[in-house]
A and B are shown apart, each in its own frame.
Chain A
Amino acid sequence: MKDLTSANRRVVFKTVAVTLMMFGFGFALVPLYSLVCQAFGLNGQTQRITETTLLQMPVDKTRKITVRMDANTNTRLPWQFQANQREVSIHPGEMTRVSYSARNLSGSDVTGQAIYSVTPNEAAMYFKKTDCFCFKRQLLKSGEEKEMPVVFVVDKDLPADITNIVLSYTFMRADKYVSKGETATN
């Protein structure tokens, strides 16, 4: 009987350990997912690099790709947000600067967060940015208008069959994520 009790205790101990581990694993899936997205460009996640790295990147002058700028504003955010260029035609490896502009249409100060997507998904891992307004939350005072630049490069290793890339930004309201004492971004 004693043996059985301790055997049972061992099983309980091990299974509870597995349970807790799997509960933790559920949460670990969150960073794991971002890592996988970053590494493989899943979900249009792009890579961030420094400007020095960017300038050292070789340029492939033999082909051109079109990057189309797309802007979306979530209806819960009372802003007007648009791309200042429709599209640019660039060489892979070439440093490119484009800009968007946003204006707060409401009577109060509002914070927004831009989320980027690059399509096709396969292109995302070759799409690298040094500067982007999406890295931080943006605060626009009532009626304020702001130009928002993006500096990027498309790696020359981009597969040859990709000739067309869409860079999308969606601005969403992020007031509830601004912590107390957080200074106005940008």
Chain B
Amino acid sequence: MTATTHEEHHDEIPTGIKRWLFTTNHKDIGTMYLWFSFIMLLIGGLFALVIRAELFQPGMQVVDPNFFNMMTTLHGLVMVFGAIMPAFVGLANWQIPLMVGAPDMALPRMNNWSFWILPFAGFMLLAPMFVGGNFASGQGPAFGWTFYEPLSGQYDKLVFFVFAVHLLGFSSIMGSINIIATILNMRAPGMTLMKMPMFVWTWLITAFLLIAVMPVLAGVVTMMLTDKYFGTSFFDAAGGGDPVLFQHVFWFFGHPEVYIMILPAFGVVSEIIPTFARKKLFGYASMVYATASIAFLSFIVWAHHMFTVGMPVAGELYFMYATVLIAVPTGVKVFNWISTMYRGSMTYEIPMLWALCFVILFTIGGFSGLMLGVAPADFQYHDTYFVVAHFHYVLVSGSLFGLFAGVYYWLPKWTGNMYSNGLAQLHFWLSTIAMNLTFFPMHFTGLAGMPRRYADYPLQFTEFNVMSSVGAFMFGFSQLIFLWLVIKTIKGGEKATDRVWEGSHGLEWTIPSPAPYHSFTTAPEVK
């Protein structure tokens, strides 16, 4: 390619629906990923509100128990596979080429594919819900997002679920391959691996996790499919299988999966804190090693999700020790963030507020995680609301807040406009307060003995459930402020400078705001 063709490309931004259908531009695809995940966040959130409406009071008022189970199942699946994961891929699409100084992703056509599979997967997952014409007789999956056998085997529209998961897997794997190729091959001259921004590092490790475990997930759903329709018996004891095997294979995927959802958030926060502390990230190398250790440990701790299935004591001891060990590298990350702030020159713009909130609340989620890792006590916590509280602290105030932090950090670069500080403050404070109001009481309901995935509950749990429900509705509606804010920012606003933030650092801030359709067509030099 010659320089002239490059110049021509610059002015050619396709228009209309074709731009989005056929685009191979990393920024367009990133935008589509982000919008898709936001829509899924709203759908998954709606499901959560049905759950919270039912649990607002003891007794069944809103939906029948089967529908309730369908809501918990789809809430989990939609949030994990539809909202959080695609949102991080969206951030990666936008930011990785900008941060490593590449003109686009390494495999742009595949990039288009990996996005456009997603809406079909989402459709396949949700479609059975509408069978029968009315919601009350909806036939969506109702076996929990963990789809344990043999319960999931009783579901008569299993084939939809299985193919939805397969498509989601294809999408994630293709996305990951693209990210790996981009990071390994497309870095600007001079940018060695150990000079890469933390966000790029965390995504590189996440992408490797994804290609390692998404195929295992595809395998496990395939086994379910053949068990149900082709007479195999992987998980049916009557044919020589074992339902516990399902859980082992599932959690072999499932535990790394939770790190897939948090590592990129670590990366985002590691970008933001140095910017607003105006100080280099403390312990860059140890941060990289800690991330890699967390990723490695995630492969060897899976059975801590299954302490109550009846493992021999030696197995339980091993999984307990390995699990609590994760606290060490995770602790290192938190200490590094705090040391970055220490003796910095701190300001509190919106992205920083989210990042700080992330550090505090994620750490709380980490503590409850440590408690859950201690096997004897886990026998009491297992499958109660304590677990629900734990994983919402790491997934809502962890992954989701990490995403918000990232969006608020880079939105001016994407749109060229600053957002309304007032609206953003409102969104932040409402979300934070509502999040804690929703999920903090769940620690208590769990300890007091309320099992999770319950459509109705004994009276002594009423008060805390009321709090959670009030919080959940507040949280849900706060996200509409965010929607409004983003639309407003896209339409206009105070023009953003190229650097946007006073303390910003890295290649993405060297190009104009908004980032031009084609950027870094000639590679920058990194010293």
Contacts and interface: CB of A to CB of B under 8 A. Distances in A.
Contact of A8 (B106, B213, B217, B219): B106
Interface in A1-60: 1, 4, 7-8, 11-12, 15-16, 18-20, 22-23, 25-27, 29-30, 33, 40-43
B483 interface: no
Contacts of B512: none
Nearest to A177: B239
Given A33-B248, A170-B237, A16 B315 contact: no
B215 interface: yes
A26 B216 contact: yes
A129 interface: no
Contacts of A8: 106-107, 181, 185
Interface string B262-293: 00000000000000000000000000000000
Contacts of A16: 177
Nearest to B184: A11
Contacts of B215: 19-20, 22-23, 25-26
Given A4-B185, A30-B234, A33-B242, A15 B211 contact: yes
A22 B180 contact: no
B180 A23 contact: no
Contacts of A176: 231, 239
B237 A41 contact: no
A170 B217 CA distance: 30
A115 B311 contact: no
B77 interface: no
Contacts of B211: 15, 18-19, 22
B406 to A, nearest CB: 25
A25 B312 contact: no
A51 B221 CA distance: 41
B377 interface: no
Contact of B240 (A11, A27, A43, A113): A113
Contacts of A42: 311-312, 315
B244 to A, nearest CB: 6
A19 B184 contact: no
Chain A: interface secondary structure?
helix
A173 interface: yes
A80 interface: no
Contact of A122 (B106, B231, B312): B312
B238 interface: yes
A12 B219 CA distance: 21
B219 A15 contact: no
A174 interface: yes
Contacts of B220: 26
A66 interface: no
Contact of B312 (A29, A30, A74, A121): A121
Contacts of B239: 113, 174, 176-177
B248 A29 contact: yes
B249 A4 contact: no
Nearest to A122: B312
B233 interface: yes
B310 A43 contact: yes
A19 B173 contact: yes
A113 B236 CA distance: 11
Contact of B216 (A23, A40, A173): A23
A172 interface: yes
Given A15-B176, A29-B248, A4 B186 contact: yes
Contacts of A27: 219, 223
Given A19-B211, A23-B219, A122-B312, A11 B180 contact: yes
Given A18-B212, A42-B312, A26 B249 contact: yes
A42 B306 CA distance: 14
Nearest to B240: A113
B423 interface: no
A32 to B, nearest CB: 9
A173 B173 CA distance: 39
Given A26-B215, A26-B218, A115 B245 contact: no
Nearest to A29: B249
Interface of A: 1, 4, 7-8, 11-12, 15-16, 18-20, 22-23, 25-27, 29-30, 33, 40-43, 74, 113, 115, 121-122, 170, 172-174, 176-177
25 contacts: A8-B185, A11-B180, A12-B107, A15-B176, A15-B177, A19-B177, A19-B211, A23-B218, A25-B216, A26-B217, A26-B218, A26-B220, A26-B249, A27-B219, A29-B216, A40-B312, A42-B311, A42-B315, A43-B244, A113-B239, A113-B240, A115-B238, A121-B310, A121-B311, A176-B231
Given A30-B249, A172-B237, 19 more contacts: A4-B185, A4-B186, A7-B181, A8-B107, A11-B185, A15-B180, A19-B177, A23-B218, A26-B218, A26-B219, A29-B248, A30-B234, A40-B312, A74-B238, A121-B310, A121-B312, A121-B313, A176-B239, A177-B233
Q: What are the 4 closest A-B residue pairs judged by CB atoms, nearest first?
A: A26-B219, A172-B238, A23-B215, A22-B215
